[in-house]
Structure 1
Amino acid sequence: MSIALQAQVDRLEQRVAELESRLEGFSRFEMLSLMAAIELRLEKIEGAKTPQTAKKVPANG
């Protein structure tokens, strides 16, 4: 793994640990709501990274 990528992973792991400590007092409903919001956001991010398929146009139109 490259040094830059490892540094990014380390920062993300630290951020996850910080968020986990902040979530300790949340109710089950709050946690489920937060998880649903995160999943929607991840789907949006992943969708933006996926190349859009172009419509195929016949060569002889």
Structure 2
Amino acid sequence: MSLWTRHKPCPSCGRSGTGRIKCSNCQTVGCTNGNCEIGGLNRWCPICRKETKKVRL
């Protein structure tokens, strides 16, 4: 799994050093931080409002 860096932080929350994930439905990219808009590895995407499988990048 790759991590967001301080030169290329998470586009959803701006953090670095967290794992990269994306929604399998809407392809929105975020991180594994629970405070991120995509946030965590739960099954619900707040962007597309569907149950999803979040894929680690």
Q: TM-score range by the shorter chain?
A: under 0.3
How does the TM-score come out when normalised to structure 1?
A: 0.20
Give the structure with the higher percent strand: 2
Give the structure with the higher percent helix: 1
Asked which structure has the greater RCO (Cα within 8 Å, sep 6+), the reply is 2
How does the TM-score come out when normalised to structure 2?
A: 0.21
